[in-house]
Every structure is written in structure tokens, then in C-alpha cells.
Amino acid sequence: MSDIEEEELIHRHSHDNIESNITEPENTNFPKKIEFEGEVLSIDTNNWRHSKLLKLQIIASFLVFILFGLGEQTVGTIIPELQAYYKINDLYVSLLFFTSVMGYLTMAILNNISHDFLGIRGVSVMGATAMTLAYIILSNKPPFFIFLLCYLMHGIGLGALDASMNAWMGNLVDSNQLLGILHGCFGIGSLITPSLITFLLEKEINPWKWNQYYILLAVCGSSILIFVGYTFRFETPKKYKYLLQSRHKSAKVNDEVELDDLNKDDFEISEENEEEEEEGDGAHSASFSQAIKQPLIWAFASILFIYVGGEASFGIWLVTYLLRIKEMSYKASSYMATTFWLGLTVGRIVLGFVTAHFFKTELTANLVYIVISLLGYILFWVFSFTQLYVVLFTIVFITGVVVGPIFPTTIVSSVNILPAKYQTVGIGFICAFGGAGAAGIPFIIGLLAESSDYGLKAYPIIIIIMFAILLFLWMFIITKFAKVYRRNLI
């Protein structure tokens, strides 16, 4: 039996165990040494319980996402400082978000190429290096044009690490729980940043300047870069190619059954690309041009665009809405926004375990989360007309909790549905498109808010409509894939 056939047999055995809830036996001999194309590969288990190295890799991923949260919320917190130093208006500040998203989208286009030629190790090191270099340059108060380029570099690093970590972790045992914690770590970083920056900049003794916070981010980024480089040192391009080829071959029969069961409708992988897969022997991931031709990838991308756009818009404009329209105090309004983000962080960390152990599939879990989220936004709109602030705080917190796991659960669903060949580039594009929603939808709501108070009054209704569309799209995914959905290892 060849090494590839042996790995295929192990992979199929793991899939068989899904149905009986049996996990990989503890006495499995990992890591395995396999020679592939002239390189000796170290093939580890995908069950974190049985591998110290895998545990370290997971911890490294969590630290990366905490850094994401710390970095992403920095600009929003120091906007007054930036405007005073660079003498710029809101339009120029918005360019920072735009360039970051452009960097993210650029990396989504290049994700398949970067993984094929650099492997997970190279992509992770490249992403962490890009973010760290950006922070180092920003700490030196560069000209504003360079400042924009740094956020383009920051977006490239973020896009590289986000897609790589999501696709990699989505294939591990306990993927629901791990991805929930992973995205919860982003929430932790987001929660820390505003209060930490405020504390550092407003200290009575030796207060910091805004650029000094970037020094702190650079130190964190450098430490994480070293940690990521060490823990992912065996994730070479040849290993990425080998694992992709193994997954492709082991899943090939099942994918053909899925497409046959779907009656070859609009959501199947096109015949042209199937022929290209055969010619390529499944050794490489699909190209970006192949991926964006697939309606299924666009369906998941649209779902995350609406979800992330709605989630970000609600959190970003909540304080302004409560101040201007409901005439709440600034302190109470900011506390309510913090309550939402706290709920979102708790939901991502905790409900991943609920999804894994109390729902039959991620499809059903996400349906429940979307429905309750929609009801939560409706109740927020209704009770915002009252003075029952305790009730309103409770509604906002619970809504944040159920909104939180929708992103990681959608990623897990896409990993389980997409063929292996499309996972890296597909998930990279899906995440990037979602990130575009985080910039685009709040910008549109901002234009409405700028136009008139009536535009801002419509803000809760816009969120409700968006989540109603999200519910419709998810119901469409369920009708297409419920019968053929195969859950990943849990």
C-alpha cells in the first residue's frame, strides 16, 4: 500500500467515525514520516488531544486573532488624534478602512498561489511579518500617504492569516468549538483596545502619544511572528500539496455523489473545472478565477457580506443612534455598545460547544442563531421607544450572544460543503467579501445618517431587513445541502 493510499485510508476511517461519534484512538502513532516528492513530511494528527505541537499551533492561532482585534479597533479609537496630527477630515480617515479592505481582497485573490508556493508556514510567516512591519512604520508617524500604504500592508497580512487559519482549523477535530474560540479571540482584542488606548493616552504621569501604541502592537506582532514561525515550521508547500491531494482523492467519490444528488443544479462545481481537476491530479488548489465562477462560493460570500456588514453596522452606529435619536447619555450609550460586543465575544466562545453537542448539523445551528438574532434586532427596535433600559441592555447582550457564532459556524459549513480543492481560495474569498461588508454597509448607513436624522432613525430597520435577507439565503443553503451534508470531525 502506498503512503497516499495509507493516508487516504486513515482519512476515510476518520470520516466513518463521524457517524458513530468515535474519535481517533489515543494510541495512533503520530507524527508520521512520509516521503513525498523528495521531501520527508511530518504528518501530524488533526486531533488536538493527541498532539502537543497541534495544541501550540492552535494557541498561536488564538494569539493571531487577538492581535487582529487589537489592530482593527485601533484606528477607530484614535481618530481624533489622527485628525489633529494629520489635519484630515472624516473622508481621509475612511480611506484607512478602504485600503485595509483592498489589501484583504488582494490577498484573497492570491491565496491559492501563496499556499501552493509557500505552504501554511510561509503564508503565516508572511502575514505576521506584513502586520508587524506595518506597526513598526506607523509607530514612527509617517506621512499620511505612507500611513495608508501601511494599512494596505496590514490588510494583506490580515487577509493571509485569516483565510489560512480558518481553512486549516476548519479541518481539525472540534472545529466548531475551536473556530468559535478563534473568532472570540478577535472579540477579546476588540474589547481590550478602546479602554487600553484611553488609559495609556490619558495617564496622569507620562501619558503615551498615539504612535506609541503601535510600538506595543509591533512588539506583540514580533512575538507572535516568532511563535507562528516555530509552531508551523513543518507546514511546508510540499506538505500542503500532499494533504490537499489526499483530501481530494478521499473525498472525490463523496463529492460526486453530492453533485449527483443535487441533480447537477446551479450549485455544482462546473464540468470544465472538474476536467481541470482531473488533469491536475488534484494536487493543487483551484485558481481564483475557477473559484469565483462557482455560485456556491458566491452564496457563502454573500451570506458573510450581509452578516458581517449588519453586525459591524449595529455595533459601530449604536452609540450615535442612541445619542442623537434616543437622547441617551454618552456613558449609557457606550456601555450598551460594549454590552453588544461582550455578548458577541461570549457567544463565539461558548456557543461553538453548543453547536457541536446539541445540534445535528451546523446548518440547523446557524438557522436557529439567525432567527433569534433577527428577533433580537426587532425587539431592540421596539423597546428603543421605551425607557426600559434594563430590558434594552438585556436584549442587546442576548442578541450579541446569538449573533456571535454565525461567522465561525458559516465557515465550518463551507468547509464541510466545499470540495477540498476549493477550500483555501474559496474560504479566503468568502472571508474577504465578508470583510468588504464590514466597510461598505457601515459607510452606507453613515451616508444616510449624514443626510438627515430620518436616515439614522431607519438604522435598526436596515439591520432587520439585512438579517431577514440573511435568513432567506441560509434557508436556501439548507434546502440544497441538508440531505447531503456531511459533518466534519467533532
DSSP 301-349: HHHHHHHHHHHHHHHHHHHHHHHHTS---HHHHHHHHHHHHHHHHHHHH
224 and 298 inside one domain:
no
* Cα distances (angstroms) measured from residue 441 to each of 95, 156, 164: 15, 21, 25
Q: Is 167 in the same domain as 304?
A: no
With 90 as the cut, is the pLDDT of residue 380 above it? yes
- How many domains does the structure of the chain reveal? 2
Question: Same domain for 213 and 295?
Answer: no
Contacts of 406 (CB under 8 A, 6+ apart): 307, 311, 366, 369, 370, 373
- Mean pLDDT of all residues in 308-324: 83
**Within-domain flag for 40:** no
Are 215 and 297 members of one domain? Answer: no
pLDDT at 15 over 50: no
From 235, 258, 273, the end of a domain falls on: 235
Report yes or no on 124 lying in a domain: yes
Of 220, 235, 250, the domain-final residue: 235
Residue-wise pLDDT for 214-225, tens only, equals: 999 999 999 999
In a domain? residue 398: yes
Check whether residue 161 and residue 296 sit in a common domain. no
Q: What is the mean pLDDT of residues 358-385?
A: 93
**d(C-alpha 374, C-alpha 97), whole Å:** 27
Summarize the chain as % helix, strand, coil (round to 5).
80, 0, 20
- What is residue 115's predicted lDDT score, i.e. its pLDDT? 83
Mean pLDDT of the chain: 80
Average pLDDT rounded to a whole number, residues 228-247:
85
459 shares its domain with 373 = yes
Whether 35 is covered by a domain: the verdict is no
350 by DSSP, 3-state: which?
helix
Residue 441 in grid coordinates: 454597509
pLDDT greater than 80 at residue 420: no
Where residue 6 falls among pLDDT bands split at 50, 70, 90?
Answer: very low
Average pLDDT (299-318) is: 88
What is the pLDDT averaged over residues 287-298?
83
Q: Is residue 399 part of a domain?
A: yes
- pLDDT for the residue 20: 34
Residue 381, domain member (yes or no): yes
Q: Looking at mean pLDDT, say which of 7-21, 174-188, 313-327, 396-410 comes out highest.
A: 396-410
353 and 215 within one domain: no
Range of the domain at 379: 288-481
Residue 473, domain CATH: 1.20.1250.20
* Percentage of residues of the chain with pLDDT beyond 70: 83
Same domain, 301 and 229: no
Does residue 38 sit within a domain? no
Look at residue 320 and tell me if it is in a domain. yes
Among 229-233, 273-277, 421-425, where is mean pLDDT lowest?
Answer: 273-277
Instruction: Say which range, 129-143, 159-173, 461-475, has the weakest mean pLDDT.
Output: 159-173
The helices-and-strands tally (H runs, E runs) of the chain is 18, 2
pLDDT digits (tens, 9 = 90+) for 253-264: 444 444 344 333
pLDDT for 458 beyond 80: yes
Choose the most confident range, by mean pLDDT, from 28-32, 87-91, 132-136, 386-390. 132-136
Mean pLDDT value of segment 367-374: 97
User: Domain boundary residue among 215, 235, 255?
Assistant: 235
Decide if pLDDT at 171 tops 90.
no
Are 205 and 334 contained in the same domain? no
What's the confidence (pLDDT) of residue 398? 96
**Residue ranges with strand state E in 12-65:** 32-36, 39-43
> Which residues lie across from 35 on neighbouring strands?
40
Instruction: Please compute the mean of the pLDDT values over residues 154-176 and round it to a whole number.
Output: 83
Q: How confident is the model at residue 267 (pLDDT cuts 50, 70, 90)?
A: low
**What is the spatial distance between Cα 202 and Cα 204, in angstroms, rounded to a whole number?**
6
- Look at residue 2 in the predicted model and tell me its pLDDT: 42
- pLDDT (tens digit per residue) in 317-369: 887 788 778 888 867 877 888 888 889 889 988 998 898 888 888 999 999 99
pLDDT of 124 > 70? The answer is yes
pLDDT per residue as tens digits for the range 103-115: 887 887 787 788 8
**Same-domain pairing of 328 and 437:** yes
Percent of the chain exceeding pLDDT 90 equals 30
